[in-house]
Amino acid sequence: MTERGALILKIAYPAIALLVVVAGWHFAVSYFAIPRYVMPSPADVAAHIADDWPALLRGFWVTFVEFLLGFLAGAIAGFVFAVMMDAFRPVRGILYPILITSQAIPIVAISAALTIWLGFGLAPKLVIVALVVFFPVVVNVLDGLASVDRDILNLVHAMGASRASVFRHVKLPATYTPLFSALKLSATFSVTGAVIAEWTASTSGGIGAYLLQANSRLNTSGTFAAIVFLALLGLVSFLIVIAAEYVLTPWRQGSKARRWSPSYWKD
């Protein structure tokens, strides 16, 4: 199969699965005569999206900005913490148990406290989203750094590599696969974090606030419309991570090696 054919199949399979879900949803609502206030049909949801498109689109962008900034902050902070914990073992011994213990605290439990400390602006939302991303990134990057073959490290040290060169050329590439695994996992969870943040600290709208308002009015069409946009946000965030992985890990797309030179390991 050609590369173009493989790409078409990658797009066709999810599209077919989506059509099957929508068709099954429509059939269930029609066959069992489910009232609209219990479960709207796909046509009802589409009509609501068309009628309230400006508000939904505005909420989508608000939530997307919250997600994107919080996601980047959590990923960067998690990566930096993992590198520090790998470089300084006492730091790892002190911080790692604290990080593990912190994961036993539900995000919902601290969202109200963050609102009290940071107010009802953007800050508590960013912190909540960042916390969702932070721990998976720390754990996976630490695993990647620990997985580097000791023989390779001894070899590059024997070749005169500096500490910075070892990190750049040996340790850093070893973190990419586990890092992007953590980011892909966190991409969808972060959307949930953004929704929770909007439920407790929203003054500027967002899909989470829209969903809460629709629930309070028993507007099932509005609720499902918000769910559709949240699913779209999760899909967009996942695709962004996939694109970043494609750009930053070109060796996974081809086998062309970099030309070696005597100064490769020198700064």
Take residue 185 and report the two structure tokens written for it.
């996992």
- Domains: count for the chain: 2
Per-residue pLDDT tens for 79-129? 999 999 988 888 888 888 888 887 778 877 788 788 888 887 788 889 999
Q: Which domain range does residue 247 map to? A: 39-252
CA distance 137 to 85: 13
Are residues 18 and 119 part of one domain?
no
Residue 176: partners with Cβ closer than 8 Å, 6 or more residues away: 144, 245, 248, 249
Are residues 82 and 9 part of one domain?
no
CA distance 61 to 39: 26
Are residues 147 and 245 part of one domain?
yes
CA distance 191 to 127: 13
CA distance 198 to 128: 10
Per-residue pLDDT tens for 15-46? 888 899 999 999 999 999 889 888 999 999 99
* Residue 257, domain member (yes or no): no
